[in-house]
Amino acid sequence: MCGLLAFFSARGDAGAHRDAIAGALECLHHRGPDETGVELIADASGRFADAVFAHKRLAIIDVALSHEPLPYADGRYLLTFNGEIYNYIELREELIRDYGATFATQGDGEVIVAGYHYWGEQVLNRLRGMFAFVIWDRQQRRAFGARDNFGIKPLHYLQTPDGVYLASEKKALLPFAPAAYAGDAGVDHANLSHYLTLQYVPEPGTLHQGISRIGSGEYLTWTPGGQIDVRRWYRPVFRPSQIDDPQRLYHQIRETLRESVRMHMRSDVPVGSFLSSGIDSTAVVALAREFNPNILTFTVGYDVPGYSEIDVAQESARHLGVTTIPTKIGPYDMMEALPRIVWHLDDPVADPALVPLYFVAKKAAEHVTVVLSGEGADEFFGGYTIYREPLSLSAVNSLPGGVQKGLRAVSKAIPQGVKGKSFLERGTTPLEQRYYGNARMFTEEEKQYLLRRYNPSVRYTDVTAPIYAECAELDDVTKMQYIDLYTWLRGDILVKADRISMAHSLEVRVPFLDREVFDIASIIPVDLKLPPRSDATKFAMRQALQGVVPPAIVNRRKLGFPTPTRVWLRAEMYEWVRHIFATSGAGDLLDLSYAMRLLDEHKREEADHSRKVWTVLIFCIWHAIFVAKTLDPGIQRNQSALLTKPVVGSMVR
């Protein structure tokens, strides 16, 4: 696991940018504290200084070798890579057997670049893992960068007249952004509006104009004098099928998950696992201990009744015969850590679960270098309660259009808060207009009060409409899963998993988010994901894990490291939040007096505005750090040893 920063010169003068690249790399130190590599790359003729490759390494596999940036084919290619390829051993053997490939390391990174040499862009379809990488071909003077199937690992890019910059985190690109994008002028207002609706900034954009992200399952190419070309190489395809033998399906799910966990445990350093009270992380631990009975697990909780998962996690750990190490946090821990958390995020993500994740990752990093986690199970197997909505609304939305129109009129006449109003409204609204993911923060009407420059033409459908167009043939439940793969999963879940774990130089691996697991999950029909006469979710997965997961957990409802922000915003955090609002400098973008009213109503218990207040709070902290620069997040700037390697190519400048 690593942090990468690459620059490709449009003018063949990369040497003039080397020192600036090396300096910017240091803000990625947390991603790779073991080694630093910075190389200037000349083209094959030695006439041009084409690129600078910079890298921070967290050594996981082939610790003694696999230093990056990594050359291949007598220096024709140079690779910088973030992630893990779990089938690298099998691919390596195939490349040696079928092509006579040679290797100088025992690592997975060299398999990527060797595969690119022999298979070209098709190497992407052979990789099983999480990755973001960049390859420079000195012979063709061509950059090739790619991101994994589901967007587990990040890759940002910026194009300027000087050339193209790519980095694991946006903060490494900020020094190179045009001066015109400084201050509030550089904030992308459309994406700010989307953030206030969704609680995250949707891909491929960011909150900084000019800086974008390569999307999940996409690759990028660039040659000097040209424009960046981004294309998709992978699209997940759900294909729900009639299942004649459910028990056979359950067996396939269980064995595919078992194999995925086994592959994800390949490492030359210690591997642990997160453990909450739910089935996802418990299943990962239960399968992982088959391969390492001494695996350490980590959980987090609070002293606030109804929020802590520690007791259930410890019970599961005892049942499985593994050790769990708990961490407890309080409101003052949260306030002290939030600026650092937001700095690591790059863009605001208003998910309170970031905080417990930050502390459980910090504790895990004291004991191991890699942890397994349960992200992706809900999106793959149908785990969110809201996925049942199309089933509950079927009695209404299956009625003729004229009848639905009449019921819609009736719903408007029913007073707010009266039972049945919401049911009729939702039942007579097409899925494409009512569902845009798991998070629903501010409505369009509320944003008119909150945003200083509200633009009614910016709607969440700008994000979701192209995604719905790709899955039009699917049933409504599976459409919701597909929407979440491209919105909630990669915008919230995977951003927090990557940034918050890497904040502590900890690698998080997600065995559910595996292409083989998706292939089996994709065929499950709706009635085996969400049985019609039950409130169960992920039914097929739960059935598959009978006898693997403790009985008390198999049908337990999802909590997922809940956070008592509702309680703390009314008490210990209240004055601190008011201070952040007042000093963030975000008043030209948001009407913070409106946000203050929400906070005060919440404190007086007139309404539960905790999620809305939290959404504004996280943006204000982000603005104070990255725009107004009035808040110091307190990040320690350590450095790792610089590898001394020769410049690649015959030009040394």
Positions marked active-site: 2
**Which residues make Cβ contacts (< 8 Å) with residue 223, sequence separation at least 6?**
140, 141, 142, 143
Question: 72: which strand partners?
Answer: 77
Token representation of residue 642? 């610089």
Q: d(Cα 58, Cα 369) in Å, to the nearest integer? A: 9
Number of neighbouring beta carbons within 10 Å of residue 166:
27
AA letter at 172: A
**In terms of Cα–Cα distance, which of 401, 427, 397, 402 is closest to 414?**
427
Q: d(Cα 640, Cα 57) in Å, to the nearest integer? A: 9
Q: d(Cα 194, Cα 5) in Å, to the nearest integer? A: 28
Cα separation of the two ends of the chain: 30
Map residue 590 onto helix, strand or coil.
strand
Question: 145: which strand partners?
Answer: 134, 220
Q: Which residue has the tokens 């409106």?
A: 594
Q: d(Cα 278, Cα 438) in Å, to the nearest integer? A: 18
Q: ∠ CA(498), CA(470), CA(350), 5° rounding?
A: 30
Number of neighbouring beta carbons within 10 Å of residue 31:
27
Token representation of residue 82? 């973030």
Token representation of residue 501? 């774990």
Element (H, E) at 256: helix 246-264
DSSP state for residue 30 in the 8-state scheme: G
Contact indicator for 382, 524 with CB cutoff of 8 Å: yes
Q: Which residue has the tokens 């994800």?
A: 264
Q: ∠ CA(88), CA(93), CA(94), 5° rounding?
A: 95
Q: Are strands 49-57 and 77-85 parallel, antiparallel or unpaired?
A: unpaired
